[in-house]
Amino acid sequence: AVLQQYVDAAADQAFTAYAREHGTGYHLVWQLARESVTTAARAVVVADQEDCRTTGYQPVGFEVEAEGTVQGLESDAGGTIKVRGRLDRLDKREEPPGLRIIDYKYRSTIMKKEDLILSGIRGMRLQPPLYTLMTPVGTEPVSQKTEGVPVERVELLFIAPQCDPPVD
């Protein structure tokens, strides 16, 4: 209940700031959007808490700049191919040491796991394999906390408020 109050307060703050800057448009649509996003945020927080308890991973950073190199391929200019990106969320587990990259996807439906695997094989969804090659960059606390810790997993976290479950 306390956690829901924090989520509700954060959503209210974000919606208030957005409304101040951009307006609200049609009242009914605005209210439905607020309700949908707030409900989805609650579901994500509840799912994340349970996941952290069961896996041992804890978030260490959000919107983390990262870079890496694709080995074994050469660019037209020669050498290896560099990749850069921003990780939605980076989790760390102490024992055994490991990192997990979470990539949030907000959708009206949740993709079937078979479709995800097939789209990865066909090269249509390259984020997960490329993320495994990246490490946080900069002198920020995140890169210091994660230095030398291997990336074990990349997970796509689908948030689909109209589905059951709303987080998968």
First to last CA, the chain: 22
Considering the entire predicted model, what is its pTM? 0.76
* Element containing residue 152 per DSSP (H, E): strand 151-159
CA dist 48 and 160 (Å) reads 15
Give the residues across from 92 on adjacent strands.
58, 99
Task: Give the model's pLDDT for residue 123.
Answer: 59
Antiparallel, parallel or unpaired: β 58-70 and 81-93: antiparallel
Q: Which residues of the chain are modeled with pLDDT < 70?
A: 72-79, 108-126, 139
Task: Give the model's pLDDT for residue 94.
Answer: 92
Task: Give the model's pLDDT for residue 76.
Answer: 62
57 secondary structure, DSSP code: -
CA dist 47 and 161 (Å) reads 13
Task: Please state, as a whole number, how many other Cβ atoms lie within 10 Å of the Cβ of residue 116.
Answer: 17
